[in-house]
Amino acid sequence: MQNDPLVKVDVDESEDTEWNDILRAHGVIPQRAPSPTAQLEEALEEALQKQQENRLDGKDLSDLEELEDDEDEEFLELYKKQRMAEIKKLHEKAKFGQVFHVNKPEYNKEITECSMGSKEEGTGGVYVFVHMSSSSKLQSRLLADIFNQAAVKFPQIKFVDIPANRAVENYPENNCPTLIVYYLGEVLRNFVTLLELGGNDTKLDDLEKVLVKVGAVDEKDDRLVMNLDDEDAREDRFNQYTKRGIKSGIKGKFNVGIGSGSEDEDFFD
């Protein structure tokens, strides 16, 4: 007995039928693609959940009081306590608030040792920004003004000014301003002139990007100029900064903070 000839049957693979389920189970036809509607609903649900979880970020205590009728009372009270603890912690660190002018003999105590924090007071490391200045240089006068603004705005950070020729004998004026960042007794960053920050157009927000980059200020801190802009402008400005990059190290004879010559070693005695 001869077998009947095979008859080709067209199958619509997109149909949701019992027969198609059998064919899919045996690998005859491919599995159905995930429903785009289901994927979209899942993405929206995740976005709404994230929005709900972060809905109180950046709110101050007065804002939280206005939300009392709309939020779960127990959750809101817990969040208030958390925000108050954060504010208290920030205030405990806010002990500077001005630019400190120091001389060479005070350098180690006021800068290196200060950056290590205080075990007696139970404080961790302190970020210390040092401006080796020269009043004859435009960029140095510019940085001095920016330091004055930043010191008031970020009182938990110590800003220090020291005339370059008093810090290191024969320090070249063309290297001024020199900006040095200390933390936990170590030099984190060095900048010779403001070339990497914005040159003669350097503004407070350029210095603030350095604060964020070294970890002295959280990038979400609402005091930052970059967080006062709309999101697109903020992203563009930050991208421009990262393209310029931040180089570290002051090479040669004037290697402040990690000097190998006797002249530099005397500086930190």
Q: Are residues 239 and 158 in the same domain?
A: yes
Last residue of one domain, picked from the residues 45, 72, 93: 93
Residue 114, domain member (yes or no): yes
Number of domains in the chain: 2
CATH code, 172: 3.40.30.10
The mean per-residue pLDDT over the stretch 226-238 comes to: 63
Residue 47, domain member (yes or no): no
Residue predicted with more confidence, 252 or 71: 71
246-256: pLDDT as tens digits = 444 444 444 44
Q: Are residues 63 and 134 in the same domain?
A: no
Last residue of one domain, picked from the residues 68, 93, 118: 93
Residue 12, domain member (yes or no): no
Q: At what angle do helices 138-153 and 204-214 cross, to 10 degrees?
A: 60
186-206: pLDDT as tens digits = 999 999 999 999 999 999 999
Distance CA(33)–CA(13), nearest Å, equals 10
Residue 35, domain member (yes or no): no
Beta bridge partners of 160: 100, 130
Average pLDDT, the chain: 74
Q: Is the confidence at residue 214, as pLDDT, over 60?
A: yes
> How sure is the predictor about 17, in pLDDT bands with cuts at 50, 70 and 90?
confident
Q: Are residues 84 and 107 in the same domain?
A: no
Q: Are residues 88 and 180 in the same domain?
A: no
Q: Is the confidence at residue 238, as pLDDT, over 90?
A: no
Q: Are residues 65 and 143 in the same domain?
A: no
Residue 29, domain member (yes or no): no
Lowest mean pLDDT among 59-73, 78-92, 107-121, 253-267: 253-267
Residue 200, domain member (yes or no): yes
Query: Which three-class secondary structure string do you get for 55-71?
Result: CCCCCCHHHHHHCCCCC
Distance CA(39)–CA(44), nearest Å, equals 9
Residue predicted with more confidence, 265 or 237: 237
Q: Residues 6 or more apart from 251 whose CB is under 8 A from it?
A: none
Whether residue 34 has a cis bond before it, omega within 30° of 0: no
Parent domain of 243: 96-267
Q: Are residues 202 and 182 in the same domain?
A: yes
Q: Are residues 73 and 146 in the same domain?
A: no
Q: Are residues 69 and 158 in the same domain?
A: no
- What pLDDT does residue 254 have? 46
Residue 48, domain member (yes or no): no
Q: Are residues 66 and 199 in the same domain?
A: no
Q: Are residues 77 and 157 in the same domain?
A: no
Residue 142, domain member (yes or no): yes
Q: Are residues 169 and 110 in the same domain?
A: yes
